[in-house]
Amino acid sequence: MIFFKLRTRKMTTMTSNLKPLKIFSTLAVRNVLKTITPDIEHVTGRAVEFDYGATVQLCERIRAGARGDIVFAVANAIDELAGEGILRASSRIDLVSSDVGMAVKQGASAPDISTVEALKATLLATPSIVMSKQGASGLYFAGLIKRLGIEQEVLAKATVLAEGLTGEPVARGEAVLAVQQMSELMQVSGINIFAKLPPAAQQSTIFSLGIFKESTEDQAISAIAALMRTPAVIEVIRGQGLDPL
């Protein structure tokens, strides 16, 4: 736990007797939520069940009927689900923003991506690249290489992950360069996160909280939202490569 005292036996009993809170979450904030899970359970008096995935995958499952209490996802996805009547209208709470970064295997030389031209040259020279398919960073990066005019060259040597962390194949030595949200790269050991994309090629993604229309857990959800604004949790957020909003 971050800053609360250990839960009492009474609190443990209460969390085991009540229905767990169900939270859907993008991978970008997974490590934050894992770190503060005991605190979430403390302030809500409830156990918590998480369902993690890329935002696109989460939205597909939710549109197919999966339900819970809250979802952490890209801001525009929260708005879309609210517009479709799945999440409560005007329930969106912006929590963090994240930049896209790059990583190589620990000990490998870090290439230059300090400018757009340097980034373009590095992407053309690098023999293998791992990117995500459905995450916010993957969707943005696919558009970026198209705008740079190197889409065909990069995709020809890219491994595109349907889900998961792009740093893992790089840590295993299966590819040279990983591209993903900084917070997702930081979840992988054995890699060197050497830089963010240069400012002229960067896109900060906002991740937000949304509330399912059917949820009756208003008090618990309010407690979670308040917890995310506390100094100790903000410190965790920054430690995971995210910027609190």
Domain 9-97+205-244 adopts which CATH fold?
Answer: D-Maltodextrin-Binding Protein; domain 2 (3.40.190)
Cα 183 from Cα 87, distance rounded (Å)? 25
What local confidence, expressed as pLDDT, does residue 34 receive?
95
pLDDT of residue 56 exceeding 90, the answer is no
The pLDDT of residue 229: 94
pLDDT confidence of residue 2: 53
Mean pLDDT across 165-177: 97
pLDDT at 13 over 90: no
Is residue 134 very low, low, confident or very high in pLDDT (cuts 50, 70, 90)?
Answer: confident
At 174-224, the pLDDT tens digits run 999 999 999 899 999 999 999 999 999 998 999 999 999 999 999 999 999
Q: Is the pLDDT of residue 100 over 60?
A: yes
Domain boundaries, the chain: 9-97+205-244, 100-201
CATH classification code of 100-201 = 3.40.190.10
Place of tokens 């620990």: 106
Question: pLDDT of 77-86, one tens digit each?
Answer: 999 999 999 9
Query: Exposed, middle or buried by CB within 10 Å (0-12, 13-18, 19+), for 29?
Result: buried
Q: Structure pTM?
A: 0.80
pLDDT at 242: 93
> Measured between alpha carbons, how far is 173 from 190 in angstroms, rounded to an integer?
10
Measured between alpha carbons, how far is 55 from 71 in angstroms, rounded to an integer? 10
**Is pLDDT at 9 greater than 80 in this prediction?**
no
What is the 3-class SS of the chain, one letter each residue?
CCCCCCCCHHHHHHHHHCCCEEEEEEHHHHHHHHHHHHHHHHHHCCCEEEEEECHHHHHHHHHCCCCCCEEEEEHHHHHHHHHCCCECCCCCEEEEEECEEEEEECCCCCCCCCCHHHHHHHHHHCCCEEEECCCHHHHHHHHHHHHCCCHHHHHHCEEEECCCCCHHHHHCCCCCEEEEEHHHHCCCCCEEEEEECCHHHCCCEEEEEEEECCCCCHHHHHHHHHHCCCHHHHHHHHHCCCEEC
Mean pLDDT over 141-168 rounds to 95
Contact status, residue 213 vs residue 70, Cβ threshold 8 Å: no
- Contact in structure between 105 and 111 (CB atoms under 8 Å): no
**232 C-beta neighbours (distance < 10 Å), count:** 14
Q: Length of the chain, please?
A: 245
Q: Would you place residue 162 in the very low, low, confident or very high pLDDT band (cuts 50, 70, 90)?
A: confident
Q: Say how far apart CA 120 and CA 123 lie, in whole Å.
A: 5
The pLDDT confidence band at residue 49, using thresholds 50, 70 and 90, is very high
Is 100-201 the same fold as 9-97+205-244?
yes
Indicate the pLDDT class of residue 20, thresholds 50, 70 and 90.
very high
